[in-house]
Amino acid sequence: MSTSRLFEPGRAAGLLRLRAFLPSAGRAYADRRNSDYGPDRRDNVSVLSPYLRHRLVTEAEVLEAVLDRHSPASAEKFIQEVLWRAYFKGHLETRPEIWRRYRAALAGQVAALDGKGGFRKAYEAAISGRTGIDAFDAWVSELEETGYLHNHARMWFASIWIFTLRLPWELGADFMIRHLLDGDPASNTSSWRWVGGLHTRGKTYLARPDNIAGFTGGRFSPRGLAKEAIALDEPPLPAARPPRAPLSGPGTGKTGLLLTEEDLHPESLGLEGMNLMAVAGAHAVDGRSPLPVAEAVQAFTEAALTDGLDRAARYWGVEAGQLPSLTAIALGDWARRQGLSRIVTAYAPLGPVAEALAEAAPVLAREGITLVELRRAYDEACWPHATRGFFALKEKIPSIFETLGLGAGASAQGELFSAAGGPSGGLAHAAGAPVRPAEERPPWRGG
């Protein structure tokens, strides 16, 4: 398998990209972020999303680096883009019914594709880029070739899928998460719901030909787009509830560190004082969908995981290796070989990894092996403010930053870039947004 031609997996590549973007993270980003100049020109956005999604580079260190270079006012738009990611994760953590409904509906729609009627033909025309809508068909090709789309293109894509092609939003969300290197359960699911009028009930996003032509520099002139966007509907969701508690257990014993695609910067997880004996990694990429996940996504995730394992092995001076699967059998076999009584891992937000760990934990417990999750201070600070709209979290940004010690004047750049090497070589992410009031603009992935 080969990775995307645009993205080199690994923390060093993410830090290089951050370094290259930092000069533009202020006013320049605010002025140019909504434009999609095409896959060969991404200098107006950060293109950090694959690295943030896997926490090869963490949100906190990105924000610290930006605030060290720009004032909060000049970098306001980029800061909000990063915080949208935390908002969507916290929103899904507090409303897990959203994820359950999405998975259930998707299973039924995938089953319906076994038929040979118009539904299957319309779906196949969409995912193969044969709709006759020039922009949409080009984005399908770009997504498959690069594993990436500009944020504004993602919004247009979703709007055309729902309101022009009239296909179920769940199948569109599934197609994206199977092909995006930065595919994230919370951001992807919530963004599609936002476009369809489910996240902010009744408020939709309509892709307009003039908007697409204007923000793509005239590259596209789509015809036949829907002229109205009638909001989708669903039964009311249960009230928000606190995020689930991290898996926990005794604080002693021989410990192994488990890395997953959810968090690949173990050096900053706060494992000091633990009796760490070994490190292992496993991913749940196939759990994204009942349909095949793109080879480029598989390859990027596996390479990113290898990068995390290599750094962990050097950092702690212990053995590290990749497990065949994220199951109780694989985890138990590893723990017994290493003589472990405890496995520690970063907290996994709602999605395939969290589901796999929840299934494995009680099985491991019966064998005397405790599975423990560590939740980052960044998530602890942000998620309590994600129970309503983004504006509620936005108002709390100053207090969140104060809690985390961000922007206090201490420079993190020397440490961040000391091992990153030279310039990024023009590799660059996007986080543009459709035209709406600022507090209603969700970036699809953040960054």
79-108 pLDDT per residue, tens: 999 999 999 999 999 999 999 999 999 999
For the residues 226-239, what does the mean pLDDT come to? 96
For the residues 311-338, what does the mean pLDDT come to? 96
pLDDT of residue 433: 32
- Local confidence band at 249 (pLDDT 50, 70, 90 cut-offs): confident
Homologous superfamily of the 255-374 domain (CATH): HUPs (3.40.50.620)
The mean pLDDT of the chain is: 90
Q: Pairing relation of β-strands 319-322 and 342-346?
A: unpaired
Predicted TM-score (pTM) of this structure: 0.90
- Of all residues in the chain, the percent with pLDDT exceeding 70 is 90
pLDDT of residue 117: 85
Residue 140 CA to its chain's centroid (Å): 19
For the residues 339-357, what does the mean pLDDT come to? 97
pLDDT of residue 411: 38
- Local confidence band at 275 (pLDDT 50, 70, 90 cut-offs): confident
pLDDT at 334 over 80: yes
For the residues 286-303, what does the mean pLDDT come to? 97
- Delimit the domains of the chain by residue range: 255-374
